[in-house]
Homo-oligomer: A and B are copies of this chain.
Amino acid sequence: MARTAKSKGKNSLTIGIDLGGTKIAAGLCREGEVLHKVVVPTNAAQGFDAVVAAMAEAARQAMGDTDPAAVRGVGVGAAGQIDSQTGAVLYAPNLNWRQAPLGQKLAEALRLPVRVVNDVRAATMAEWKYGAGKGLHSFINIFLGTGVGSGLVLNGTLCEGATNTAGEIGHICLDPAGPLCGCGHAGCFEAYSSGRGIENEVKRRLQAGAPSALREKVGARLDQITGPLIGQAAREGDPLALEVLAWAGRHLGLVLANLHTLLNPQKILLGGGVMALADFFLPAAREAMHRHILSVADRGEDLLGRARFENDAVLLGGSALFA
């Protein structure tokens, strides 16, 4: 019996890696807890082999003097389009990688099993296994950051889609005549309710002459408009900042209503840096959600939740691939 317990303890150690465009975070994890974390620069410009070497070194440092034989595997969450079957990065614009055999090369370097998934799906795994989605069979994890992404857990499975793009919620079109999105299309959800969408709308309204304390803060330097600055203006009662955040909230609420009408999940979790401004956009989002939701299906406040993990979500989700 002691052997079983020891074996279980051994097997519960995993490495999670968050591969970002600027930073690599590697952590030795046990059941949703980060025991030891190492963060190093990605140095993407040095190319694929150097990044893989940096990831392997970060993983070794995170393990410290832990016997590698005690580690079940290494799970990586990476921004981009990933073939989770082979561990290959099909396309990662922020790293300038195409068809990069990340899983294979990292496994060779570390002599451990490696799995790779998309970063938003990794964060969704973390919520599902250890966080606000624990025990649920269907939930949607929406990440409101510079852009917007989501992970979908439906009927007890994480959806990857037919060609690996399931969950690209940032690019559903809310209004064909809406603001231009970075993807080249008009009216994408991301053009309203992401950090970039909010910043761009503030800039558009300033350029159109809307009165705002932000004008005094940045003058003609509209490129200095940032999320934190908008948040500060909102806290000081600036009408432009408050109106744009409510506008972002109304569009979020419409999407939340439609997600519920279409998929009827148990929960919709919200996370990401934009949630720092939740006080200013979430009331408008809730109001719009209840206005647009299929009435018989409205489950009130029970539907919305907050993602539990912030900085460590992708890393923990990677670790969960071997949990």
Q: Which A residues form the contact surface with B (CB < 8 A)? A: 81, 91, 138, 152, 154-169, 171-173, 175-176, 183-185, 254, 257-258, 261-266, 291-292, 294-297, 299
Instruction: Tell me which of B164, B184, B254 contacts A295 (CB under 8 A).
Output: B184
Q: Closest residue to A169 on the B side, CB-wise?
A: B262
Q: List 25 A-B contacts (CB under 8 A).
A: A138-B159, A138-B161, A138-B162, A152-B262, A154-B159, A155-B155, A155-B159, A160-B264, A161-B263, A161-B264, A161-B265, A163-B297, A163-B299, A165-B264, A165-B297, A166-B263, A168-B261, A171-B294, A172-B257, A172-B258, A172-B262, A173-B258, A175-B175, A176-B254, A185-B294
Does the CB pair A257–B173 fall under 8 Å? yes
Given the complex of chains A and B, what is the CA–CA distance between A295 and B262 in angstroms? 23
Minimum C-beta distance from A70 to chain B (A): 33
10 additional contacts (CB under 8 A) given A163-B264, A176-B254: A138-B159, A152-B262, A159-B264, A165-B261, A167-B262, A168-B262, A168-B297, A169-B261, A173-B292, A185-B295
Residue of B nearest to A296 (CB): B165
**A60 CA / B299 CA spacing, docked (Å):** 41
Using Cβ atoms and an 8 Å threshold, which residues of chain B touch A294?
165, 168, 171, 183, 185
Contacts of A184 in B (CB 8 A): 295
Determine the distance from Cα of A155 to Cα of B296 in the docked complex, in whole angstroms: 27
Nearest neighbor of A172 in chain B, beta-carbon distance: B258
Asked if A166 and B292 make an inter-chain contact with CB atoms under 8 angstroms apart, the answer reads no
